[in-house]
Amino acid sequence: MADPVLPEPQTDWALFLDFDGTLVEIAERPDHVVVPAQLHRLLGALTGALGGAVAIVSGRHLDGLDELLGSTLPALAGLHGLERRTHDGRIHRPADRRDQLDGLREALQAFAHEHPGARVEDKGNALALHYRSDPTLERPARALVEHHCESLGESFRMQSGKQVLEVRPAGHDKGTVIEAFMAEPPFLGRTPVCLGDDVTDEDAFAAVNRLGGHAIRVGTDRPTAAGYELASVNEAYQWLTRLARQLQPQPLA
């Protein structure tokens, strides 16, 4: 069971933050998300307090994160670890494998056309089928995706999330990308701390636990590998605000 008492803040932390459902409320559509202006200031304060050792680790594209966050953070991981930008601006992306997803893409688009409550998100090397508008679609959506995953073989994996199913290349997840960040400055030698809310964050929690850090789950709706919990996005924001003030006492104006 996760501990409601959070760890005492330390200046040697490296902070890894999920985005949707952790820093901002999940929207009906990813492009409808609202990013509060104060979040930019908070992330800037945390980055300054931790010597730059702060990264967003999200299911979104790097480009999409930049559109939402501007130049607030140099270090980002997108598509659940499939792509990464280091603190010094180097970008790591796998080879283009979109053509291998053509059959699945067509099947998902046909499913979404038949079911208005479903929506396909094409992420290039990954495809996501959202059914947040109609949760009753979970069973047929899962059956469809699992069927096509069998033909893709072991080089791709299906990942479940909150009213979403995603197919992406295997071998990359939020845990592997955190390990990659932790091998480089300014994260190297620090204690990793990770906040996330979804099943996709469990890989990150497991990696952080292996590295001797602190995993904090946002939400209380399921079992988790995280050792700590915050009940909501609002609680996560308040805790991060207190963290910034404790590590570098100054107004978050």
Better pLDDT: 202 or 252 = 202
Instruction: Kindly report the pTM of this predicted structure.
Output: 0.89
Provide the 10 A C-beta neighbour count for residue 55. 27
Instruction: Round the CA-based radius of gyration of the chain to a whole number and report it.
Output: 18
Q: Which residues are catalytic?
A: 18
Residue 222 banded pLDDT, cuts 50, 70, 90: confident
Confidence of residue 69 (pLDDT cuts 50, 70, 90): very high
| Angle (CA) 32 36 41, round 5° | 140
Percentage with pLDDT > 70 across the chain: 96
| Whole-number average pLDDT of the chain | 92
Q: Which of 122-156 are b and which e, b meaning 16 or more Cβ less than 10 Å from the residue's Cβ? A: ebbbbbbbbbbeeeebeeebeebbeebbeebeeeb
pLDDT of residue 128: 93
> What is the mean pLDDT of the segment spanning 201-216?
98
> Average of pLDDT values for 143-158?
91
Residues in contact with 198: Cβ distance below 8 Å, sequence separation at least 6, in sequence order: 18, 21, 161, 162
Q: Which long-range contacts (CB under 8 A, 24 or more apart) does 151-159 make?
A: 151/103, 152/100, 152/101, 152/104, 155/100, 156/100, 156/101, 159/80, 159/199, 159/200
Average pLDDT over residues 198-208: 95
Residue 241 or residue 30, greater confidence: 241
Dump the DSSP string for 57-76.
E-SS-HHHHHHHHTTS-S-E
pLDDT tens for 91-128 read 999 888 889 999 999 999 999 999 999 999 999 899 99
Confidence of residue 2 (pLDDT cuts 50, 70, 90): low
Mean pLDDT for 74-79 is 95
pLDDT above 90 covers a percentage of the chain that reads 77
What's the DSSP call for residue 116? T
Task: Give pLDDT, residue 1.
Answer: 53
Domains along the sequence of the chain with CATH = 13-93+172-247 (3.40.50.1000), 98-169 (3.30.70.1020)
- Nearest one of 214, 199, 124 to 159, comparing CA atoms: 199
Q: Does pLDDT of 223 surpass 60?
A: yes
| Band of residue 175 on the pLDDT scale cut at 50, 70, 90 | very high
Q: What is the pLDDT of residues 125-141, one digit of tens each?
A: 999 999 989 999 999 99
Angstrom distance (rounded) from CA 170 to CA 165: 15
